[in-house]
Structure 1
Amino acid sequence: MIPAYIMDFFLWIQGKRTIFVKIQDRLRRSVGSLDFFTSNEWEFVNGNLYMLLNKMTTEDQKTFNFDPKLIDWSKYMERYCLGTKQFVLKEELSELPRARKTLQRLQRINLCINVFGIIILWRLLMNRFTIAKSLWNFLMGWALKIFKSLPTLMKAT
Structure 2
Amino acid sequence: MNNIRLYMAHDLTNIPVQPLPENYQFSRLQKEADKKHWAEIVAAADEFATKQAALERFDHEFKPHLSETKQRMIFLQTHDGHDAGTATAWFDTWNRQTIGRLHWVAIHPEYQGKKLGKPLIAEAMNVLASFHQQAYLRTQPRNLTAIRIYRQFGFEPIIRSQRDEQAWNAVYSQLQNR
Q: Pick the TM interval, shorter chain.
A: under 0.3
More helix by proportion, 1 or 2? 1
Q: Which has the larger radius of gyration?
A: 1
The one of the two structures with greater contact order (alpha-carbon pairs below 8 A, sep at least 6) is 2
More strand by proportion, 1 or 2? 2
Normalising by structure 2, we get a TM-score of 0.21
Normalising by structure 1, we get a TM-score of 0.23
